Amino acid sequence: MSALANAGAGAGVAHDMLALQDFQARPGVHCESGTLRMMLAHAGILHSEAMVFGLGQGLDFVAWPVADARHEMPMLSGRGDSGELLRHYAANTGVTLRIEQSANGDQALEQARAILEAGRVAGLKLDIFYLPYFSAKRHFCAHFVALHAIDGQHAWVVDTAQQGGSHRIALADLAQARASRQGQQSSDSLSVSVVSTDGMRDLRAALANAIGRCARNYLEPADPARGHLGLRTLAREMPDWWSRFADPAAIMTGIANFWEFAGTGGANFRALYRQFLRESQDVLGLDGLAPLLPDAHAVELGWADCIEGLRASADTGSPTHLREVAARFAATVEREHALMAALARLFKDERA
């Protein structure tokens, strides 16, 4: 887990190399859980991304506000706010994470370098708009990548599999992406690292805590735009999308693509959480959990059905078809609520 630092010179220009030995790129499905998984793996904790996602209480729903609700695609996320997964994972497992921020660009770079010099992977939060390999040119500041090397004026990072995994980008682009305040959930060049795994709790206890707390957060949201309340509002408003948006077909296609392909999308997260529950059952062996696994799969399929339905509605231009899609999605929301209620009952003694 040590860091390898080399210094040399070429063409009269100083060239510094700082890289982690034995780092393995593991591109994931979701930026935050995938980055944390790589941080943990380099520290010796080998979890699947689904296990990281579940221990971080990743499943949720939130409708993030947009500036122009008539013309902009609504941000309908299948997760909670940025950084919540990190904090929940630490609280449930006992792993110590260090989160740092700085409004000073030089200091922010030194914080990242210090993490590498300590032999750790640096998780960096940034705005995708300034990442040259991103095809989507919009501001979104809640994205994470894993930094594992700095080579002169460039950095080596690992993004999600959807975004191509490993990339070498200019430090200037990285600094601009980290410092951006132009998108949702921005921060001052936030970095995160695994400081210690000495306090790692028994996995069975961590799983019970995580599942119970995630279910209750979903069932008892502090904000009506979150959890099952936000999803019910979404299902109720969906039939009106043809009149609500200036370009409804484009918006519906965008939401379908976001849910299917984006790390923040709802369907991706239902697939991860279903896998997490299966892995949890392998560890816990609970009679009450096994019968819920088919329900989790049915919820995942219901989200996938809505994705295809939105695309078909956009193609046909049919308000009637959209009403049918919304009705099926409302049924999926009810099934998901029933699943989370059953999980809350099963793990009722695990209190936050």
Q: How far apart are the first and last CA of the chain?
A: 33
Residue 349 has a pLDDT of 67
Residue 136 has a pLDDT of 78
* Domain identity same for 184 and 209: no
Number of CB atoms found within 10 A of residue 220's CB: 12
* Domain identity same for 219 and 160: no
Q: What is the mean pLDDT of residues 138-159?
A: 95
Whether residue 81 lies inside any domain: the answer is no
Q: What is the mean pLDDT of residues 140-149?
A: 95
- 27 vs 128: CA distance, rounded Å: 16
3-state secondary structure of 45: coil
* Domain identity same for 175 and 290: no
pTM of the complete model: 0.92
pLDDT in tens, 56-89: 999 999 998 888 999 999 989 998 888 999 999 9
- 270 vs 60: CA distance, rounded Å: 9
* Domain identity same for 225 and 207: yes
Residue 10 has a pLDDT of 35
* Domain identity same for 238 and 112: no
Whether residue 117 lies inside any domain: the answer is yes
5 pLDDT above the threshold of 60: no
Of 161, 196, 231, at which residue does a domain stop?
196
Whether residue 90 lies inside any domain: the answer is no
Residue 264 has a pLDDT of 67
pLDDT in tens, 98-129: 999 999 999 999 999 999 999 999 999 999 99
Whether residue 246 lies inside any domain: the answer is yes
- Percent pLDDT > 90 in the chain is 84
* Domain identity same for 132 and 276: no
Of 142, 173, 196, at which residue does a domain stop?
196
CATH code, 108: 3.90.70
Strands 166-170 and 154-158: antiparallel
pLDDT in tens, 303-349: 999 999 999 999 999 999 999 999 999 999 999 999 999 999 999 86
pLDDT band at 179 (very low <50, low <70, confident <90, very high): very high
| Mean pLDDT, the chain, whole residue set | 92
Residue 308 has a pLDDT of 96
Whether residue 74 lies inside any domain: the answer is no
Of 178, 196, 214, at which residue does a domain stop?
196
- 201 vs 195: CA distance, rounded Å: 15
- 292 vs 290: CA distance, rounded Å: 5
Q: What is the mean pLDDT of residues 269-290?
A: 97
* Domain identity same for 22 and 149: yes
Residue 6 has a pLDDT of 44
Segments forming the whole domain that contains residue 257? 203-346
* Domain identity same for 112 and 140: yes
Residue 12 has a pLDDT of 29
pLDDT in tens, 247-267: 999 999 999 998 988 766 678
pLDDT band at 184 (very low <50, low <70, confident <90, very high): confident
Q: What is the mean pLDDT of residues 204-223?
A: 97
Q: Are 201 and 350 in contact (CB under 8 A)?
A: no
Q: Are 258 and 318 in contact (CB under 8 A)?
A: no
Whether residue 80 lies inside any domain: the answer is no
* Domain identity same for 163 and 103: yes
Strand partners, 340: none
- 228 vs 210: CA distance, rounded Å: 18
9 pLDDT above the threshold of 90: no
pLDDT band at 350 (very low <50, low <70, confident <90, very high): low
Residue 64 has a pLDDT of 86
Q: What is the mean pLDDT of residues 188-192?
A: 96
Residue 183 has a pLDDT of 77
Q: Are 299 and 341 in contact (CB under 8 A)?
A: no
* Domain identity same for 207 and 342: yes
- 267 vs 42: CA distance, rounded Å: 28
3-state secondary structure of 75: strand
Q: What is the mean pLDDT of residues 5-30?
A: 69
How many domains does the chain contain in total?
Answer: 2
Whether residue 89 lies inside any domain: the answer is no
Whether residue 85 lies inside any domain: the answer is no
Going by C-alpha positions, the residue among 76, 10, 8 that lies closest to residue 227 is 76
* Domain identity same for 148 and 167: yes
pLDDT band at 14 (very low <50, low <70, confident <90, very high): very low
Q: What is the mean pLDDT of residues 152-157?
A: 96
* Domain identity same for 122 and 243: no
